[in-house]
Structure 1
Amino acid sequence: MSGYDVLAEVYEWLISDEKLTPAEFAAAFDDVIRLLPSNARVLDCSCGTGQLAVGLAGLGMRVVATDASAAMVRRAGELAEELGASLRKVRAAWHQLTDHFDDASFDMVFCVGNSLHHAEGAKGRMAALESMSRLLRPGGRLVLTSRTWELVRARGSRLDVRDELVRRNGRDALVIYRWEIAPHWEQEHHIEIAVAQVDADGTVLVRSELLSCWPYRYDELSSQLHSVGLRVETSTFDPEAEGYMVVATRV
């Protein structure tokens, strides 16, 4: 699985304006959060820099934040400390989750931010989903967001350059995505993400990271969710939309 240790330092430039603060990030999931009691036990795996985890903690939930990247876990901890949020942090990849937590110990598990495609192939993705499913209590829910890979693959290998600078904390940066689309679905694909920070004196500092990914069709994801004991409750999948959210319930 890819690390994100380089991009962790500039990850705020990759977060949309609408989800930049913890409160805003959590509010994006209001429809599923309202299904939980205020003291629910929630896992945010692939937590990134912690916006969602800290937002959930701010709502009074008992939150655990995990990520395979040490740098991401560190940044999530820094954000929690800055905002006075109570949060447990664990560095763990998906397949390691059951080494740290008991089965059926969470009311809800979040796997958001287009992260699941970093699981290595169908086997790795199945292992990730099985780990997350095992941690849910019966009736608990997995909330997962994904790119629409059917669209991504149809566009082929390419360079995507944002058409405007992104401003964060008084600093500007240009965000660039370079896609390497393999000939076949089951092969390893790559995304190189570059953040070119432009300082006031004209200095440009570029940080980039090449990330491995293994795409999947929506139908394949639905089948794998079913295989690990999760029933799709709601889905926003649209083959013409850039991304979607799936909410699946532990049977």
Structure 2
Amino acid sequence: MTDSIINFYDELAEDYHLIFIDWHESIARQSEVLHNIIQSKLNLSCTDIIRILDCSCGIGTQAIGLANYGYNVTATDLSAVSVKRAIKEAANFGVKITFGVADFRTLHTDVSGIFNIVLSADNAIPHLISDEDLYQAFHNMHAKLDQNGLLIVTIRDYDAMVKKQITSTKPNVFDNGNRMAFQIYDWAQDGKTYTVHQFIMQRMNTGWKTKQYSTLYRAWLREELNKIMQATGFVNVEWHFPSQTGYYQPILTARKVE
């Protein structure tokens, strides 16, 4: 399972920004929403140094934006190739971020320090297929938070996806029709897991060039996530939907209280 995920993101790292209309604009927009969530959930003063662990940083989409807000950001990912690009992009943006390679399930030993916030964005959690793996991941996230720390997770609306058995996304066409990105979903018979096929197409001088990347996801329902989060010690589990936040995915927040 881990090797297939690593391969997926290692291969996608170079092209990941092509999924967005404008990756730089997405960095700014997403970090604004996440910043507002943080400000509403934590009792902060202007002099507080807030430590964030972005434990599925990819090429840096959220980590860079939050570092721009002045947060002290540590960013890790399972894909060393993605982290390598994130380091380069952070330098391009002129922000200071501590980077590393780590697994959700071993954060307690892979990452030093304790944080006010642990973040996992962009539907990364559903790469964990089994209840045991998800429990282990949330247990490790819980361990990296200080008392009253905040967990933030963004994830697809799987309750809606499973109900409708959605099999694809609409093609997003960019750059005056010269670039296109879309996904195809192949559902397993049990309706709980699916393989996503990410397509990126670009018009070249010689014609269209198509790249395709595939990986497996678990369609975690909200009730399932709530149950496992509570079992690992999280409280005040809340869901914030795009209609409320303007974010492109539902946002899940929870607190660590000891």
TM-score, normalised via structure 1 length: 0.87
Q: Cα distance 1:237–1:160, how it changes in 2: closer, same or farther (>3 A)?
A: closer
Deviation at 1:191, TM superposition (A): 0.6
Q: Tell me if 1:197 matches 2:202.
A: yes
Partner in structure 1 of residue 105 of structure 2: 95
Deviation at 1:147, TM superposition (A): 0.9
Correspondence for 1:218 among 198, 215, 222: 222
Correspondence for 1:235 among 230, 233, 239: 239
Aligned partner of residue 155 in structure 2, secondary structure: strand
Gaps of 5+ in 2: 243-247
Gaps of 5+ in 1: none
Partner in structure 1 of residue 173 of structure 2: 165
Partner in structure 2 of residue 8 of structure 1: 13
Q: Cα distance 1:22–1:161, how it changes in 2: closer, same or farther (>3 A)?
A: closer
Q: Cα distance 1:98–1:243, how it changes in 2: closer, same or farther (>3 A)?
A: same
* Residues 13, 59 of structure 2: 8 Å contact kept: yes
Matches within 5 A, 1:130-145: 130-145=139-154
Partner in structure 1 of residue 36 of structure 2: 31
Correspondence for 1:154 among 137, 147, 163: 163
Partner in structure 2 of residue 52 of structure 1: 62
Q: Tell me if 1:112 matches 2:121.
A: yes
Deviation at 1:89, TM superposition (A): 0.7
Aligned partner of residue 28 in structure 1, secondary structure: helix
Q: Cα distance 1:18–1:194, how it changes in 2: closer, same or farther (>3 A)?
A: closer
Deviation at 1:160, TM superposition (A): 3.4
Q: How many residues align?
A: 243
Partner in structure 2 of residue 129 of structure 1: 138
Letter in 2 for 1:111: S
Partner in structure 2 of residue 85 of structure 1: 95
* Residues 17, 23 of structure 2: 8 Å contact kept: no
* Residues 20, 26 of structure 2: 8 Å contact kept: no
Q: Whose helix proportion is higher, 1 or 2?
A: 2
Partner in structure 2 of residue 248 of structure 1: 254
Letter in 1 for 2:251: M
Aligned partner of residue 188 in structure 2, secondary structure: coil
Aligned partner of residue 52 in structure 1, secondary structure: helix
TM-score, normalised via structure 2 length: 0.85
Partner in structure 2 of residue 179 of structure 1: 185
* Identical-pair percentage: 23
Deviation at 1:19, TM superposition (A): 7.0
Aligned partner of residue 198 in structure 2, secondary structure: strand
